[in-house]
Amino acid sequence: MATHVKRAYKYRFYPTDAQAAELSRTFGCVRKVYNLALQARTEAWVLRQERINYNTTSAMLTAWKKTEELAYLGDVSSVPLQQALRHLQTAFTHFFGKRAKYPRFKSKKKSRRSAEYIISAFRFRDGKLTLAKVAEPLDIVWSRPLPAGAQPSTVTVSRDAAGRWFVSMLVEDQTVKPLSAAGAAVGVDAGLDHLLTLSTGEKVANPRHERRDRARLARAQRELSRKVKGSANRAKARLKVARIHTRIADRRRDGLHKLTTRLVRENQTIVIEDLTVRNLLKNGKLARAISDASWTELRSMLEYKAHWYGREVIAVDRWFPSSKLCSNCGTLQSTMPLHVRTWTCDCGTTHDRDVNAAKNLLAAGLAVSACGAGVRPQRSTPDGQLAVKQETQRATAGTSRP
């Protein structure tokens, strides 16, 4: 692992009216250039089977600025516009690599409003940040200091749906170093009654942030639905709804950061289940609760923090029967309905469903780490069921008791 990593530090700032107007114009121009380039690349392929790259769209941008219709593109800094074309190129690279869907046009109402500046388009001196074509330094609230001696390589300015302005600075953080080796390993079972259940027996409560504000959010959404479209009152009502959503999201993100940091600091190896959250969200009764739990964001945080601090995160295949397998003797139960929270194995051991699943995930993950064994059950035939039982027994042998 490298001795330091690229890390983004995000701060809130309060622009003057002139700065807000200039940055808003920049956001609009970024969106316009992105959409024009996407349209040009799409038409080139559909009409002529021709692939257009970043260099071609960059030349197009120069031509667009010279037209009367798009002359306003020259009134803002050119760097965010060029960065938008680079982002589009990256989107197409992911598409052709079959890692993402075809790029979509940016919407004025729904798309993220942001502009990215590289080092040639901003100045950072003595704790003051000045952007190209923005007259004065930004009034930033330094909620935490940048690493000593760090100089931003990229600055991204954004505005969220609640009207808050943020600036994110990408720096090389030499303070992020691998932690001293820890011998502990933990299995983590995600759930809804409890957000996480650990193989140690600890259960982390599910804070249910969305449920706490559900009544307030529903009332604000009803008020929004009554407003006339396009009116000033509707804009105010929309802002009220957005502020409730952002408060929920901020609380959720803060809780996940604290939880994942603790898990990474205390354990050398963390074993999780490879859940397909996208498919789970198709369950209409549980979709809201699953979204509120934010398992995908939790896994993402675990993975990048483990990379930073020299830890290991192992994802066990989603088909591994962690809940149906006895962590004591290795017996595989034929069925295990969701409403069964405790069960007793033939060996006489009584299991808490979630704790037992976490123990099995830990054993299977350590087996995979040690010998590369697979843990995906082959459920199509009785022989496959036998193979699953034998495989999972081997995976959990290290935790079995006589």
C-alpha–C-alpha distance, residues 332 and 334, integer Å: 6
Query: Which entry of 22, 189, 292, 391 is annotated as an active-site residue?
Result: 189
How far, in Å, CA of 144 to CA of 126, rounded?
Answer: 15
What is the CA angle 342-345-348, rounded to 5?
105
Estimate to the nearest angstrom the gap between the alpha carbon of 241 and the chain centroid.
22
Are the C-beta atoms of residues 363 and 328 closer than 8 Å to each other? no
Q: At what angle do helices 54-65 and 17-48 cross, to 10 degrees?
A: 120
273 classed as catalytic: yes
Calpha distance 53→62 (Å, rounded):
15
Tell me, what amino acid is at 218?
A
Indicate the DSSP class of residue 301.
H
Residues 22, 210, 354, 391: which is the catalytic one? Answer: 354
Q: Are 73 and 65 in contact (CB under 8 A)?
A: yes
Q: Please, which residues bridge with residue 196 across strands?
A: 190, 204
- Residues whose CB falls within 8 Å of the CB of residue 312, separated by 6 or more in sequence, listed in order: 268, 269, 270, 306, 369
Among positive and negative, which fits the CA dihedral 366, 372, 376, 381?
negative
DSSP of 153-175: SEEEEEE-TTS-EEEEEEEEETT
- Cα four-point dihedral sign 246, 249, 255, 256: negative
- Residue in 22, 116, 273, 391 annotated catalytic: 273
Which residues contact residue 262 at a Cβ distance below 8 angstroms, ignoring those fewer than 6 apart? none
Which residues are designated catalytic? 189, 273, 354
